[in-house]
Every structure is written in C-alpha cells, then in structure tokens.
Structure 1
Amino acid sequence: MTIKPEERDADLSPPAQKAGGAALCRIILSEDDPIIRERLSKLISAWQDGLLLASCGTLAETIEAISTHDFDLLITDLNLPDGNGIEAIEALRIARPEAQAMVISVLADDRTVLNSIEAGATGYLLKDADFTDLIEAITDLMAGRSPISSRIARILVKRLSAGTPETSLPDNGPKLTDREMDILWGISKGFTYAELAQRLEISRQTVPVHIRNIYRKLQVSNRSEAVFEAARQGLIKL
C-alpha cells in the first residue's frame, strides 16, 4: 500500500482544501493489478479537485486504510488476492458510513453487481470503459448521482423490470430527433464521444451538444440515468 507520508495521520487533520477553500475529494484506491493501479493513481493525482490518500493492492491493505483515514470515496476492484472488494465496501459502511464506494471491475454478472450495490456501492464502472471518464464518474457520484456502465445499467433495468408490467410511452413523452436517438443508442452501447462522432460522421464537438439535449428532454443528469430512463420509457431496448 502506498500512503504519502504527509497523509499518514490524515484522520487527525481537517479535510484537505484546494485554493479558494473548497474541500478536496479524499480517495482510497484498491486495485491489485499494479499497472492499472498506477494508471488510476496518476489520473486521480492529476485531478485538481481530488487527493489520493492511499493506493492499496490487497483487501487487508484496503481495510487498514479505511480504518486509518478520514476520506470521502473508496474506489475498489472486486477480485483482490486475499478477498473480495465487497468486503471492503461492507467494512466502509461500518467504519465510515458517510463515505461513498465505487466499484471498478471486469465482473459484470448479475449476482456480483447486485451484491456490490446491496453492500453499499453507489457507482459501478467496468474496466473495459474508458478510464478517462473516471473523473467525470467521481464528480457525478460525489454530486449524489450513481455513475454506472451501460452493461451494469442493463442488469439493473432487468432486475427492476422483472415482474413489472410494461408501460407505454406517454403521449407527452420526450420527442427526440433522429440524431438524438442515434446518440442515445450509442450511449447505451458504451461508445465514447469520439467513437460516436466517427460512427455517425459528425463533429466531435457536436456530440456533447446532442447529449445535453437528450439529458434535458429525459430529465436526467448522466449517461447511466439516460440509458435507464430511455429503456424505462421504451425508447431503446437493452
């Protein structure tokens, strides 16, 4: 586990602040793959609104960091060499109930996803996602939203819709343009902005504009919510 010397007694210090007095998002990272851990650590360390307190490679190190630090967010893998990241989330709920937990994993089976969320994870990203979206996901999570990969959204939609009669799209439902429907389909497949622009042969700069319009019409604030709401309203099928 890597802990910066100045952060060893972080639980005894007031929350770290950036210039201007705003609090930093204090983060513990748990990832057993050293290459991925280093990549994620660099992304977090380069984020001006974040502070990486500990970078852990095992469950034991993670639980020690949870008990040692006062922090805001745990980002954890699930397949750790000495246990499961879900155990870290459960330990977090006991030791730091006010902190948030986000999973980053290759695992996407129904049981694992649901167990993670039931344990207290409020975000779930797959490792096949673009890690450049990590900071956006952290920002969403700390703002009270639940960033999840589209494949995870599909699992949750299946679970929520099980045994629930289908509802028809209301007459006053959102009226998306053909281009917005194309973008929405791409979002549900997990495409990045660059991939959407290339596939649809449009400017990279226009993609966020379409996405903002989709969010406004669906009354959502991130990709996962857009996919969930569009599926619920029958605009797309997952």
Structure 2
Amino acid sequence: MTRQPISVALVEDDPAVRQRFKASIEKQPQLTWIGEATSVREGKALLGDNCPRVLLVDLGLPDGSGLEVITEAAHHCPATEVMVVSMFGDEGHVIQAIEAGASGYLLKDMDDESLTEHIIQLVDGGSPMSPMIARHLLKKMRQSEEPDQAAASGISLTKREMQLLKLLARGYTYREVADELSVSSHTVNSHIKNLYRKLSVKTKNEAVFAATRQGLLDMRHLD
C-alpha cells in the first residue's frame, strides 16, 4: 500500500541551507515540504499552525536555541519526529537534544541524498545519526555508572516492558513491536507509557539511553 507523502518542515536561519534542504526534499516523491522558520519564535509559531510528520531543527538560532523548538514539538506535536541538523557535534549538544526529544541527529556536512534517506528512515522507526554523533553516545554510555550501582535506583521493569525495550533498542517501530509480541497497538502504547513513566523519559531514544545508563539494558545482548 502506498503511504501518504511525509510532511517535512525546517527551522534554520541560514538562507542557503534552507534552499538546499527544500530543493532536496521537493525532489523526493515520498516527501512533501510544508514550511520553514528562521528562529525559535517562528519555529514555535509554525508548530502552532501545523504539526509536520518530521521537523528538522538547527540548534544555533538567532533568538535562542533550537532545543526550545524541540521541547515545544515534544509537548504540542507528539506525533512529530524531530531530527537535529546542525554544525554542533559536541557531546553536550547531542545529549541535550536527545533529552529534549530529538530522535535523530545529523551534521550539516552530509550530502543531500542522505538527508532525504534519513528522513524516511526516521519515520520508519530508525534513529539516524552521523557517525561522530553515534560515537559520542557510545562514549557517554561507557562512562555511565556501573549496572550494580545503578540498580540502587529502584527501577523495576516487567518482563513485557523489557521485551519491548529490547525491541526498541533494535530499531523496531511500534507497529513492528506489536507484531513481534502478538499484541494490539493499544497494548503496546500502554506498555510504552508505563515504560516512559518509570524511566522519566519522553522518547524511545531517551528510554534506551536511560535504561542503558541505569544498568537495566545491555546493548550487547538484545536477543
């Protein structure tokens, strides 16, 4: 079955970058361009008018940080997938963006074809990241506290929640999780809400990261 084109919007203050991204997206028949903003204020207004399926956000904006726009999207457009596209590739910006609700993080030096491919991957349940960004996250996880120390947090996940968490870590979409576990989408959503509440997170990336940091999930053993 052919799906509807994926709606994409962009928050970026550089005119050349906006034109480049817009041209790339309009060439891809699976994507449709619905708008752009050049600042935090305009980005929030854009979300107030229409929630895109994918929102691309730069972090360095003239009137503040793109993190504010990401937070706004998480609160008011929960179905919107946010992907950072930035020049900032340091660990601090990466962690803050993911904690705010971003599900992908790309550096601006990637080619235009990769951008459109990553947008489609994001909607299909992936978490596209530039290699340097992925390395920062791995480093952060290695530096996290030891599992036996983390266990003192008192967080306890049910067997089903652990199954779901491992599938999310393997890149499964919610629909694929439902099929794999032979349960309804409603049941998956219920488990997701409980899992997020226990881990105090808002996105699947945050859930995987938090569970790994607290010793509840070992990325080397996801079977």
TM-score of the superposed pair, with normalisation by structure 1: 0.60
Match of 1:101 in 2: 82
Find the structure with the greater CA-based Rg.
1
How far apart, CA to CA, are the structure 2 residues paired with 1:163 and 1:23? 41
Match of 2:33 in 1: 52
Q: Secondary structure at the match of 1:128?
A: coil
Deviations 1:33-72 (A, max 9, x none): 0001100011111110111111211111111110101321
Q: What is the CA RMSD across the aligned residues, in angstroms?
A: 2.0
Report 1:214-225 matches (<5 A): none
Q: Secondary structure at the match of 2:43?
A: helix
For the pair 1:149 / 2:123, whether they are aligned, the reply is: no
Residue of structure 1 aligned with 2:45, choices 41, 64, 67: 64
More helix by share: 2
For the pair 1:80 / 2:47, whether they are aligned, the reply is: no
Match of 1:132 in 2: 113
The letter of the residue matching 2:49 is T
Q: Higher RCO, 1 or 2 (CA under 8 Å, sep at least 6)?
A: 2
How far apart, CA to CA, are the structure 2 residues paired with 1:70 and 1:108? 27
TM-score of the superposed pair, with normalisation by structure 2: 0.63
Percent pairwise identity: 33
Deviations 1:129-173 (A, max 9, x none): 2232001111111010100000000100001111477xxxxxxxx
How far apart, CA to CA, are the structure 2 residues paired with 1:106 and 1:21? 35
Stretches of 4+ aligned residues off by more than 4 angstroms:
none
How far apart, CA to CA, are the structure 2 residues paired with 1:126 and 1:159? 19
For the pair 1:24 / 2:5, whether they are aligned, the reply is: yes
Q: Secondary structure at the match of 1:107?
A: coil
Q: CA deviation at 1:21?
A: 5.6
Q: Which runs of 5+ in 2 are unaligned?
A: 147-169, 173-218
Q: Secondary structure at the match of 2:33?
A: strand
Q: Secondary structure at the match of 2:20?
A: helix
Q: Secondary structure at the match of 2:93?
A: helix
Q: Secondary structure at the match of 1:147?
A: coil
